[in-house]
């Protein structure tokens, strides 16, 4: 009898345990199948600081010099006086990274510089020669020069007469030796010698006639100053001056100048290297730095020029203050990405430029990622 009661009590206990287990399992299934609440939108990419007020606008940004970073490219050497083949190379780099430069300062010299200097010197000499010739034409010839040239003409005429007589003698000798050769009185070598003398006399006479003609033309030109001569000399001066100006322009294309007063941030081309797509160097006005904040399009309505801002980063101690100087006009996707994996990486932002009150601490930190807090 006692044994049966014990079995009944054990059966009730087992049944109770089974019911409890089924209840727990059912609750788990219910919780699993029950629809979950909608997830909250991800937190903004910027992180609020403990002292941030409810109205503060925070965003990620980057540091850059005033006017952005400028890539300084090499001037084009196409169409220069001296033919340039291939991409020019940097012959001398005159600055280093962090060097301070002024607007127009030469920072690099290309390998075509020396050749273009020589071309410029030649062009300068041609200008001087043309100007001297123009002055001579405008002044006209002196009477003594005219008489001297007339004497030259007379001398050339006398020379022509003498050579004409010598040619007649040489012709007569040559004809006589032809008859003697036919009769066998002289050798072929003697005949050829007389022929050579005759040909030489004829050539010398022709040369003397050309000299006489040139002397006569010179006498005519020095005897009077013609307007056409002055115009021709002036045209030669103009051409020489144009060539000189072109040589100066070409020479300027062989040096690389800084377009602004600022600091060399990065050198891309070393001495002996060809200038690539990155240019020769990058320069920026690092004495006036800006924080470029990427403000969400939903917050931009609360940003105004003149508002105060605070910039922080782990790269420098403390914080830097500034003022909103410019609000962009273009909405685009963000460039500065948050390191928080839960942050939204595909948002639409507007760039806001914050002018720093003191740039000395970050003048060497271009493109540094920072946090910007704007107080409306």
pLDDT, tens digit, for every residue of 65-82? 999 899 999 887 655 555
Question: How buried is 201 (Cβ within 10 angstroms: 0-12 exposed, 13-18 middle, 19+ buried)?
Answer: buried
What's the pLDDT at 334? Answer: 74
Among 4-13, 66-75, 99-108, 127-136, the range with the most confident prediction by mean pLDDT is: 99-108
Question: What is the full DSSP assignment across 253-293?
Answer: TTEEE-SSSEEEEEE---TTPBP-TT-SEEEEEEEEEEEEE
Q: Model confidence over 146-194: pLDDT tens digits?
A: 778 788 888 989 989 998 998 899 899 889 888 888 888 888 888 889 8
Mean pLDDT score of the chain: 81
pTM of the model: 0.56
Q: 41-78: string of b/e by CB count within 10 Å (b at 16+)?
A: eeebbbeeeeeeeeebbbbbbbbbbbeebbebbbbebe
- pLDDT at 313 > cutoff 90: yes
Taking alpha carbons only, the member of 259, 256, 257, 290 closest to residue 275 is 256
| Mean pLDDT, residues 95-112 | 94
Q: 363-374: string of b/e by CB count within 10 Å (b at 16+)?
A: bebbebbbbbbb
- pLDDT at 24 > cutoff 50: no
- pLDDT at 280 > cutoff 90: yes
Percentage of the residues of the chain whose pLDDT score is greater than 70: 78
Q: The tokens of 16 are what?
A: 């109770």
CATH 1.10.287 placement within the chain: 120-248
Calculate the CA 259 to chain-centre distance.
Answer: 11
- pLDDT at 20 > cutoff 90: no
Q: Has domain 57-67+285-375 been given CATH number 2.40.30.170?
A: yes
Name the architecture of domain 120-248: Orthogonal Bundle (1.10)
Q: Model confidence over 192-220: pLDDT tens digits?
A: 898 898 899 899 999 999 988 888 888 77
Instruction: Report the Cα–Cα distance between both ends of the chain, in Å, rounded.
Output: 88
- pLDDT at 248 > cutoff 60: yes
CATH 2.40.30.170 placement within the chain: 57-67+285-375
What's the pLDDT at 100? Answer: 95
């Amino acid at each position: 009898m006692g044994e049966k009661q014990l079995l009944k009590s054990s059966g009730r206990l087992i049944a109770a345990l089974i019911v409890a287990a089924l209840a727990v399992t059912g609750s788990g299934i219910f919780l699993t199948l029950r629809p979950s609440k909608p997830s909250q939108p991800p937190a903004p990419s910027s992180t609020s600081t403990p002292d941030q007020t409810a109205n503060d606008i925070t965003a990620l940004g980057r540091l850059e010099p005033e006017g952005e970073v400028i890539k300084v490219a090499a001037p084009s050497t196409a169409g220069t006086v001296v033919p340039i083949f291939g991409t020019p190379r940097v012959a001398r780099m005159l600055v280093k990274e962090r060097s301070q430069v002024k607007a127009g300062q030469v920072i690099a010299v290309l390998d075509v510089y020396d050749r273009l200097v020589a071309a410029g010197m030649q062009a300068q000499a041609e200008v001087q020669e043309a100007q001297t010739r123009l002055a001579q034409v405008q002044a006209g010839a002196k009477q003594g020069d005219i008489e001297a040239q007339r004497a030259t003409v007379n001398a050339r005429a006398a020379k022509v007469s003498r050579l004409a007589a010598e040619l007649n003698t040489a012709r007569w000798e040559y004809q006589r030796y032809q008859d003697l050769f036919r009769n066998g009185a002289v050798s072929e070598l003697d005949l050829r010698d007389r022929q050579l003398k005759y040909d030489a006399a004829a050539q010398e006479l022709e040369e003397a006639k050309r000299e006489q003609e040139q002397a006569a033309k010179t006498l005519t030109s020095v005897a009077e100053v013609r307007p056409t001569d002055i115009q021709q000399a002036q045209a030669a001066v103009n051409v020489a001056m144009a060539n000189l100006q072109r040589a100066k322009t070409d020479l300027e294309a062989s040096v690389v100048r800084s377009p602004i007063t600022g600091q060399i941030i990065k050198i891309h081309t070393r001495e002996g290297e060809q200038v690539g797509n990155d240019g020769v160097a990058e320069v920026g006005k690092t004495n006036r730095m800006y924080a470029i904040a990427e403000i969400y399009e939903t917050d931009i309505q609360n940003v105004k020029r003149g508002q105060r801002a605070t910039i922080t980063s782990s790269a420098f101690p403390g914080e830097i203050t500034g003022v909103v100087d410019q609000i962009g006009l273009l909405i685009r996707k963000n460039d500065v990405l948050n390191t928080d994996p839960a942050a939204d990486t595909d948002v639409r932002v507007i760039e806001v430029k914050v002018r720093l009150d003191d740039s000395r601490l970050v003048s060497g930190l271009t493109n540094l990622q920072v946090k910007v807090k704007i107080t409306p």
